């Protein structure tokens, strides 16, 4: 109820400005560990932990990549009841991303459009920040990507550099090859390219689990080829899905997230689970903003789920609410 009272005021702000305001608030909370621990005790769901890809998760609900790109507030996400967080996407070198305006709300559809373009402080800065923070007691994943000026034929070098610098502070690493906001990035979603990328990152992160995040439009033979290449070369699992490629109000390419992605993400998770069987982990993401959508994603085959856009429309306590609802749900 508190968030519903505050939401109209936040929605008067530009979408990216509101995002940054929320992130600053989370950063302040993370700077007060005593307050974070108190909030965690107050809101955290009491559910049985789950083990996925060899990692123990306090609950099944995680924060998707994109919210905390620069690892400024991991402790805050734990305080709000998340069972894990995926930070980033982080590139080897810092970059500004695409020119604003680059984030838009579509309230009638409970959707967000973004064309951020991997804006982040770079792997060195993020690694330094993580080395100085109090580590929250839940798994931390870090999404890595390539800098926009790196050609695709040298992409594995960028992914390996970022992963090598960040892996000491991560419980798992994820490879982002599916954002529609970096020109040519999705062209890496081929059997040959994914084999090279997974092998390159696998070589620098040791035994830590490696996930690959795929696009919702990837399906059929193309999807199966990518899945087979990832798992054959050392990936522990898949994250499905990233945003859907459309155009923003100014006619520029962007990614759509939120409620409109719900059915497509469910279909892709079910297709992936059928292909990979029980031999790999699967994280479901896309359009999850209530108990029904969370339970449906688990039923479709996801071991874990992630939310982001749902927070914009439902507020920061959504994770704890969903975690309680799916806590006792069988894997699949």
Distances (CA, A) of 279 to 52, 84, 235, 237, 328: 11, 21, 11, 9, 22
Predicted pLDDT of residue 57: 97
Helix (H) or strand (E) holding 227: helix 220-232
Question: What is the Cα–Cα distance from 3 to 309, expressed in whole angstroms?
Answer: 15
Domains and their CATH numbers in the chain: 2-326 (3.20.20.70)
174 is catalytic: no
Question: What is the Cα–Cα distance from 209 to 268, expressed in whole angstroms?
Answer: 22
Per DSSP (E only), the strands in the chain are 50-52, 55-57, 61-63, 84-90, 103-106, 111-114, 140-144, 172-176, 210-214, 237-240, 244-247, 253-258, 281-285, 304-307
Residues 104-130: tens digit of each pLDDT = 999 999 999 999 999 999 999 999 999
Catalytic residue among 44, 174, 179, 293: 179
Name the packing angle between helices 291-300 and 262-276 (round to 10°).
20
pLDDT of the chain along its 332 residues, tens only?
778 888 999 999 999 999 999 999 999 999 999 999 999 999 998 899 999 999 999 999 999 999 999 999 999 999 999 999 999 999 999 999 999 999 999 999 999 999 999 999 999 999 999 999 989 999 999 999 999 999 999 999 999 999 999 999 999 999 999 999 999 999 999 999 999 999 999 999 999 999 999 999 999 999 999 999 999 999 999 999 999 999 999 999 999 999 999 999 999 999 999 999 998 999 999 999 999 999 999 999 999 999 999 999 999 999 999 999 998 554 54
């Amino acid at each position: 109820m508190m968030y519903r009272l505050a939401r109209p005021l936040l929605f008067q702000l530009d979408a990216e400005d509101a995002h940054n305001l929320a992130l600053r608030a989370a950063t302040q909370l993370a700077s007060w560990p005593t307050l974070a621990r108190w909030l965690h005790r107050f809101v955290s769901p009491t559910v049985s932990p789950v083990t996925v890809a060899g990692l123990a998760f306090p609950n099944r609900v995680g924060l998707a990549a994109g919210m905390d790109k620069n690892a400024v507030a991991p402790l805050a996400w734990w305080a709000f009841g998340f069972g894990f967080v995926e930070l980033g996407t982080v590139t080897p070198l810092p970059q500004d991303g695409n020119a604003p305006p680059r984030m838009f709300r579509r309230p009638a559809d409970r959707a967000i459009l973004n064309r951020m373009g991997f804006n982040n402080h770079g792997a060195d800065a993020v690694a330094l920040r993580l080395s100085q923070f109090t580590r929250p007691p839940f798994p931390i994943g870090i999404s890595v990507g390539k800098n926009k000026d790196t050609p695709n034929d040298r992409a594995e070098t960028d992914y390996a550099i970022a992963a090598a610098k960040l892996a000491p502070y991560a419980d798992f690493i994820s490879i982002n090859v599916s954002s529609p906001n970096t020109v040519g990035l999705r062209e890496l979603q081929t059997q040959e390219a994914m084999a090279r990328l997974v092998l390159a990152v696998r070589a620098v992160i040791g035994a830590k689990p490696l996930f690959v995040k795929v696009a919702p439009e990837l399906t059929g033979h193309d999807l199966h080829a990518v899945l087979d290449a990832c798992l054959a070369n050392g990936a522990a699992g898949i994250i499905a899905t990233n945003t859907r490629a459309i155009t923003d109000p100014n006619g520029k390419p962007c990614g759509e997230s939120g409620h409109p992605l719900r059915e497509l993400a469910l279909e892709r998770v079910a297709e992936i689970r059928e292909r990979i069987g029980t031999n790999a982990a699967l994280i479901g993401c896309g359009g999850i903003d209530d108990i029904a959508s969370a339970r449906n994603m688990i039923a479709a085959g996801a071991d874990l789920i992630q939310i982001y856009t749902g927070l914009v429309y439902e507020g920061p306590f959504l994770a704890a609410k969903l975690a309680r609802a799916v806590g006792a749900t069988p894997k699949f």
